[in-house]
Amino acid sequence: MNAPATVVTAGIDVGSSAVKVAVVASGPLPARVLGTASDRIRRRDTLPVVREAFAAGCAEAGVGAGDLAYVATTGEGDQIEFRTGHFYGMTTHARGALFLDGEARAVIDIGALHTRALVMDERARVLAYRMTSQCASGSGQFLENIARYLGVTLAEIGPLSLEGDRPETCSSICAVLAETDVINMVSRGIAVRNILRGIHESMAGRILRLLTSSKARGVVLVTGGLANDTGLVGALQAAAAAQKAPVEIRAHRDSPLAGAIGAALWGAFRFARLAEKDRRQAAEA
């Protein structure tokens, strides 16, 4: 039996703090995203959050679970019972980044707990990678803790940071010590916008060193949970320009979904491979 010309697959990216889902149609025409969903875990059991997000993504795409040729997981999703297969996060973020920006040749994935730099080729094959090994002061969880202390929402962090005109540098790479620095800044009357700008600049410096050590060149797409933090992306772009780094930092509105999109695309690829194998075996029988 021939495989259908167009297949619909789902990708589920289970992170430390959020679940992202993407439903993608792949075939002879360029792949397109039919529906997405994202939900924060917020100390809940992960599996119910996964099921809710998966149902929401399918509903937005107008498909049912039975319409999916492949359900691919990535991140911490290898324990999901209804998955068809699982893919490593590096490969899914690379593939998703290339889908979102065809010129991307590197990825900086900034998640809740870790940051990693990936260098890839024009087919999304990962050539090299580096990952943070320090304390989590450059992570999404750190920023969330700081925002809570400062009394601002996550959505306000980026715009406030961009308004900063006298950034107060937070030099510590230890999250606990960095949070202590912030408490001291508040007691000294430093404006919230300048505290956030200083934190973003400190994070950007470490992230840029990670990219440099991975030998990234050309267009770098920011992915992960902090990809929509305009203040951090702006700080990264400014740091790259100031240091004349051979990279161009970009972000896409769907950058946080890169892992889920990449998983769905790899799922379509694996489905096609399995269908071809079945055809060959049938022909030889």
Per-residue pLDDT reduced to its tens digit, 191-221 = 999 999 998 998 899 899 999 999 999 999 9
- The yes-or-no verdict on residue 132 having pLDDT over 90 is no
Across-strand partners of 9?
24, 70
- The yes-or-no verdict on residue 172 having pLDDT over 60 is no
Handedness of CA 205, 206, 212, 216 (dihedral sign): negative
What the block records as the tokens of 278 is 């079945």
Q: Say how far apart CA 261 and CA 60 lie, in whole Å.
A: 15
Please list, in sequence order, all residues whose beta carbon lies within 8 angstroms of the beta carbon of residue 86, skipping any fewer than 6 positions away.
72, 73, 74, 77, 78
What value does the mean pLDDT take over residues 13-24? 95
CB 48 within 8 A of CB 283: no
What the block records as the tokens of 110 is 């900034």
pLDDT band, very low/low/confident/very high, at 1 (cuts 50, 70, 90): very low
* Of residues 178 and 269, more confidently modeled: 269
Across-strand partners of 19?
14, 39
In 3D, which of 206, 205, 237 has the Cα closest to residue 221?
237
Percent of the chain at pLDDT > 70 equals 94
The whole-number pLDDT of residue 29 equals: 84
pLDDT band, very low/low/confident/very high, at 59 (cuts 50, 70, 90): very high
Greatest mean pLDDT among 123-127, 137-141, 152-156, 206-210 lies in 123-127
What value does the mean pLDDT take over residues 160-189? 82
Q: What superfamily in CATH does domain 103-251 come from?
A: ATPase, nucleotide binding domain (3.30.420.40)
- The yes-or-no verdict on residue 18 having pLDDT over 60 is yes
The whole-number pLDDT of residue 190 equals: 93
CATH topology of domain 7-97+257-284: Nucleotidyltransferase; domain 5 (3.30.420)
Q: Say how far apart CA 278 and CA 285 lie, in whole Å.
A: 11
**CATH 3.30.420.40: which residues of the chain?**
7-97+257-284, 103-251
- The yes-or-no verdict on residue 136 having pLDDT over 60 is no
Average pLDDT, the chain: 91
CB 244 within 8 A of CB 212: no
* Of residues 16 and 163, more confidently modeled: 163
Please list, in sequence order, all residues whose beta carbon lies within 8 angstroms of the beta carbon of residue 89, skipping any fewer than 6 positions away.
13, 74, 75, 109, 259
In 3D, which of 200, 113, 186, 197 has the Cα closest to residue 151?
186
pLDDT band, very low/low/confident/very high, at 71 (cuts 50, 70, 90): very high
What the block records as the tokens of 23 is 């439903």
* Of residues 80 and 179, more confidently modeled: 80
> At 62, phi and psi to the nearest 5?
75, 30
**Residue 216 to residues 27, 128, 249: CA-CA distances in angstroms?**
31, 9, 11
Please list, in sequence order, all residues whose beta carbon lies within 8 angstroms of the beta carbon of residue 20, skipping any fewer than 6 positions away.
12, 13, 36, 37, 38, 53, 256, 257, 259, 260
pLDDT band, very low/low/confident/very high, at 111 (cuts 50, 70, 90): confident
Q: Say how far apart CA 122 and CA 218 lie, in whole Å.
A: 12
In 3D, which of 196, 211, 201 has the Cα closest to residue 132?
211
The whole-number pLDDT of residue 126 equals: 96
**pLDDT digits 0-9 by tens, 214-245:** 999 999 999 998 999 999 999 999 999 999 99
The whole-number pLDDT of residue 138 equals: 58
CB 109 within 8 A of CB 116: yes
The whole-number pLDDT of residue 139 equals: 72
